[in-house]
Amino acid sequence: MKILRTGAILILLSVVLVVAGGALGGRGGMQIALLIAVVMNFVSYFFSDKIALKTSGAQPVSREQLPRLYQVMEGLAAKANIPVPKLYVVPDAAPNAFATGRSPRHASVAVTQGLLQIMNDEELEGVIAHELSHVRNYDILTSSIAATIAGAVTYMAQMGKWAMLFGGFGGNRDEERGGGGFSALLMIFLAPFAALLLQLFLSRSREYAADETGVRMVGHAQGLIRALEKLGAYNKRIATSAISPSTSSLCIVKPFFGEGTLSALFSTHPPLEDRIATLRQMTVTPLR
């Protein structure tokens, strides 16, 4: 089921990308878009984890350096019946955490220095259980693919805008390419919006699912609830200095970049209040 879900998401986003290319450049544009989709999917599958860790400045840590983190991670990984991921620390005062990698055997979990400083053991356990849930559910591969292809769709739309400004979409030329100026104009605006909506839907639904699985992994919701409350409070006043917007969708809570946002409607994360309320009403059942 997890593999089928990932495949369906990959196909849907790739279709959006290819259709956008066809509308903007006819058959040639469609072929270019298909090539971009293949390359981007390859990069997402094999290198998205390395990109996320590199851009955030994450550094690998040993058991000797952070025995508390290793103890929590190893205990929860055993409960989830998955290998212990590679552990990293991000030099950032803003508390946060994210998981990345294409599968449980190729997974990494990164936490910020700020998170380690403010979380007690029970709260840290809740955060790590949430991140291991992403690993166990293959969410890290899904979200990486979604973010990468959505970015490619947006980039192609930007290219289309420049083409309209400098090259135009003439009538005979449009007919030869198989696309029209009006359809290209629509695709410039609709394709990125469609890719964004699908990415937002995936990101939000996976956060609720990871909260639930993490709580079942630990056996209670108190640690994660208090951790989310702390994360919400600290991330309102401490701007991240390391995590990039492209990596933010992987984080347990949306990082604060020191500037206002358009609306919670277009956030990759559901409102913290809703997540906490859902956890308070949850009936905890054992993880299988």
Active site residue 131: yes
DSSP H or E segment with residue 98: strand 97-101
**Phi, psi (degrees; rounded to nearest 5) at 117:** -75, -30
Q: Name the residue with tokens 């190893």.
A: 74
* Burial category of 163 from C-beta neighbours within 10 Å (exposed 0-12, middle 13-18, buried 19 and up): middle
| 24 and 188 Cβ atoms separated by less than 8 Å | yes
Tokens of 160: 């289309």
What count of other Cβ atoms lies within 10 Å of the Cβ of residue 281?
8
Catalytic residue among 131, 207, 212, 229: 131
Long-range contacts at 217-221 (CB < 8 A, ≥ 24 apart):
217/76, 217/79, 217/80, 217/129, 217/132, 217/133, 217/287, 218/76, 218/125, 218/126, 218/129, 219/284, 219/286, 220/284, 221/126, 221/279, 221/280, 221/282, 221/284
Distance CA 25, CA 154 (A): 15
Which residues are annotated as catalytic? 131
